């Protein structure tokens, strides 16, 4: 896959390419949600109760319809602790952005990297931490 700068400046991006990127983004979000659910300690719970609508400029330019993406709500002992929400796919410098939002704290960003090999043959991995 090309990077965001290449995609947004290339004249040959097709609707099929955009649909493929969106499908890949949805798959990566779903995989991350499953991983987060497995990482939660005892007393924590993750649920998909809400959706956020994705309708980015690249999608509109190529006639690709918007999609609803899951928001992962996080609870501890039955009380809301925050949520993970997809914010955008075409973000320069990364391959998608998710925000972890906690009501009593600031919002921190996390990226979901590609699960496909890069051009140099290396694989992407989940971020190990940080904000």
| pLDDT value of position 94 | 83
With a threshold of 0.75, does the pTM exceed it? Answer: no
Q: Residue 120: inside a domain, yes or no?
A: no
Report residue 13's pLDDT band, with 50, 70 and 90 as the boundaries. confident
Q: For 32-56, what is each residue's pLDDT tens digit?
A: 999 999 999 999 999 998 999 999 9
Domain range holding 12? Answer: 4-111
Q: Write down the pLDDT at residue 118.
A: 44
Q: Return the DSSP state at 99.
A: E
The count of structural domains within the chain is 1
Whether the per-residue pLDDT at 7 is higher than 70: the answer is: no
Q: Is 103 within a domain? A: yes
pLDDT in tens, 84-116: 999 999 888 888 999 999 877 655 555 555 444
The answer to whether position 20 is within a domain reads: yes
pLDDT bracket for residue 26 (50, 70, 90): very high
Distance in angstroms (rounded) separating the CA atoms of residues 76 and 55:
32
Phi and psi based region of residue 114 (left: phi greater than 0; alpha: psi -120 to 50; beta: remaining): beta
Asked whether residue 96 is domain-assigned, the answer is yes
């Amino acid at each position: 896959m090309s990077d965001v700068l290449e995609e947004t400046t290339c004249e040959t991006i097709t609707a099929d390419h955009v649909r493929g990127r969106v499908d890949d983004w949805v798959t990566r979000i779903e995989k991350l949600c499953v991983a987060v659910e497995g990482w939660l300690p005892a007393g924590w719970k993750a649920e998909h109760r809400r959706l956020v609508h994705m309708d980015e400029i690249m999608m509109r330019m190529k006639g690709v319809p918007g999609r609803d993406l899951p928001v992962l709500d996080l609870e501890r002992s039955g009380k809301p602790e925050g949520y993970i929400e997809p914010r955008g796919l075409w973000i320069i410098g990364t391959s998608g952005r998710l925000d972890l939002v906690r009501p009593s704290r600031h919002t921190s960003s996390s990226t979901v990297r590609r699960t496909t090999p890069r051009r140099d043959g290396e694989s992407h991995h989940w971020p190990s931490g940080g904000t």
